[in-house]
Amino acid sequence: MKTAKKILFWILVVFALIQFVPIDRTNQPIDHKVNFVDIKKTPPKIAGLLKSACYDCHSNETVYPKYAYIAPISWSVKSHVNDGRSRLNFSIWGTYNKELKENMLDNAMEALHHKTMPMPGYIVYHKEANLSEAERTLLSQYFEQMLKTKTY
């Protein structure tokens, strides 16, 4: 019993201490000259879907949920945001070259079709990101049209 109490005590101490590990949650400012929805004049409906389903990890407009402030969950959230952004960041779309844009549109269609994006774990806490079949198709068709007409 004594040992169990000691272990619990130290777990609590460590939990309390890790809350002090700093995490940078500041978003970079949006440059409208390279921001996807601005340069593509994305229709509001599509832009809304992107915002509610993809932006938290693929833009500089991340809105961090409350649980993202509690370590170690916050570390996992931040790592998904960093990883997501480093691969695809709609806020800096205009800086991508032709190949990268084509690749991303293709991969995004694939991800929507196979339901690998938005990340399944994320949908559990973000009901608005749980896209319907129709919404997935709408988003996918928008990307496909862009790819076909080379208007990326």
Q: What is the token pair recorded at 56?
A: 């938290």
3 or 86, CB closer to ligand HEC? 86
Nearest distance from C-beta of residue 151 to ligand HEC, angstroms: 18
93 or 122, CB closer to ligand HEC? 122
Binding site for ligand HEC (CB under 6 A): 53-54, 56-58, 80, 83-84, 87-88, 104, 107-108, 111, 117-119, 122, 129
80 or 101, CB closer to ligand HEC? 80
Nearest distance from C-beta of residue 103 to ligand HEC, angstroms: 6
10 or 142, CB closer to ligand HEC? 142
First to last CA, the chain: 64
Nearest distance from C-beta of residue 27 to ligand HEC, angstroms: 15
Across 116-139, b (16+ Cβ under 10 Å) vs e yields: ebbeeebbeebeebebeeebbebb
Residues in the chain, total = 152
Nearest distance from C-beta of residue 126 to ligand HEC, angstroms: 7
What is the torsional sign of CA 109, 46, 34, 123?
A: negative
Distance CA 117, CA 128 (A): 13
